[in-house]
Amino acid sequence: MWHYLLAVIFIILGILSFFGNGMVMYLFSCKKSLRSPANMFVVSLAFSDFMMMASQFPMYVMNCFGGGYWTLGAFACQVHAFTGAVFGNNSLLTLAAIGYDRYSVIVKAFDGGHISSTKAFIMILFCYSYATAVSIWPFFGWNAYIPEGILTSCSFDYISRDWGTRSFGVFLFVMCYVFPLIIITFVYSQIVGAIRAHEKALREQAKKMNVDSLRSNTDANKQSAEVRIAKVAVGNVFLWLLTWTPYAAVVMLGLFGNQDNLTPLVSALPGLIAKTASVYNPIMFAISHPKFRLALMEVWPWFCVNERKDDDSKSSKTESEAAK
């Protein structure tokens, strides 16, 4: 029953992931207005999530409907686990990179904090290299890729209690959970603090000048967009914690805790929960973004997206007249 149920759930997740991430990549490819350094990270995240699901989805469903255990051989198990580790870890690091980009724009705006396309490309390349470097070691004898949970998927070994297995588990826990979490927590706490301090300063200044607000409508709209992006990012941090903490807890339990509590189903469900990130990431970081929503309105009007477009032509005209 569980094999069939999990297969159906995974099929739903796969369809949503392919559709959401595919939409983000398509919009980026056909709309020049989206080709900014910040959106390079969003598209890299969409590609990573798309490939993670593409590498996991067929094998997982095939094994669930094919008898409930791994039937594709040892090499396919290693490929399945390795690709899942690379793209999963890369998505985690890309989330940290997106947080750093938002931190640069909002907190370090007056220090020339905007990231260039070249720097964004280097950071994306670093994320992929980092994810590959921490995932490749089982091929060289440090730990191993084996079937996990109810044996329909593969991951690294966190059941054995030898020194090599435990040391690799701790290595992954620090490099792929603790390290990204520290970065994400720091940058988003700084973003929230900067926005609150800025809003407080504006309110105090407006009070001194006996006016309701110091912002023009255009400035208010831009600030509203920045605040929306920051809120989306902070919300994604909590989702990230809810998604990846159960898997990290299961790994630590398998390596150092009471394994009697680590039933096949208990160890299988956190891995499935972690893969839901490939579904909500495009919603949180792209489809909810104002510019992506505007592009969505233009490319697919039937999608029923409502996003107000700023009157850039009017402001440009005013600026040109002032220059004369």
Q: Output 178-182 pairs: Cβ under 8 A, ≥24 positions apart.
A: 180/92, 180/93, 180/95, 180/96, 181/241
**Which value, to the nearest 10 degrees, does the dihedral of the CA atoms of residues 237, 40, 314, 309 take?**
-50
Of the given ranges (29-38, 53-62, 80-89, 203-212), which has the lowest mean pLDDT?
Answer: 203-212
**Residue 226 — pLDDT band, cuts 50, 70, 90?**
low
Please compute the mean of the pLDDT values over residues 65-81 and round it to a whole number. Answer: 88
Retrieve residue 154's tokens.
């593969």
Task: Please report, for residues 31, 142, 275, the alpha-carbon distance to residue 168 in angstroms, rounded to integers and kept in the order given.
Answer: 43, 7, 22
Average pLDDT over residues 173-187: 90
Q: What is the pLDDT of residues 76-107, one digit of tens each?
A: 999 999 999 999 899 889 988 988 888 888 88
> Is pLDDT at 224 greater than 70 in this prediction?
no
Residues 230-239 have a mean pLDDT of 71
User: Which pLDDT score is estimated for 316?
Assistant: 39
Residue in 296, 278, 304 with CA at minimum distance from that of residue 49: 278
- How many H helices and E strands in the chain? 11, 2
pLDDT of residue 293: 76
Determine the distance from the C-alpha atom of residue 221 to the mean position of all C-alpha atoms in its chain, rounded to a whole number.
Answer: 26
Q: What is the mean pLDDT of residues 51-62?
A: 89
Any alpha helices (H) in 107-216, and if so which ranges? 117-135, 163-173, 179-208
Percent of residues, the chain, with pLDDT higher than 70: 83
Q: Average pLDDT, stretch 226-243?
A: 71
Q: Is the per-residue pLDDT at 324 higher than 50?
A: no
pLDDT at 219 over 80: no
Q: What is the pLDDT of residue 129?
A: 96
pTM: 0.83
* pLDDT for 85: 92
Helix spans in 178-286 (H): 179-208, 217-256, 264-274, 277-282
Q: What is the domain class of 2-193+228-304 according to CATH?
A: mainly alpha
pLDDT value for 221: 55
The CA distance from 41 to 185, in Å, is: 18
Per-residue confidence at 28, pLDDT binned at 50, 70, 90?
confident
Q: Does 105 or 134 have the greater pLDDT score?
A: 134
- Residue 143 per-residue DSSP state: S
68 against 131, higher pLDDT: 131
Only one residue has tokens 């592009």, namely: 295
pLDDT 10s digits, 270-315 = 888 888 888 888 877 777 677 777 887 777 777 666 666 654 444 3
Q: Which residue has the higher pLDDT, 165 or 192?
A: 165
Q: Is pLDDT of 162 > 70?
A: yes
Burial bucket for residue 24 (CB in 10 Å: 0-12, 13-18, 19+)? buried
**How high is the pLDDT of residue 120?**
92
Token pair for 238 = 């909590």
Average pLDDT over residues 112-121: 82
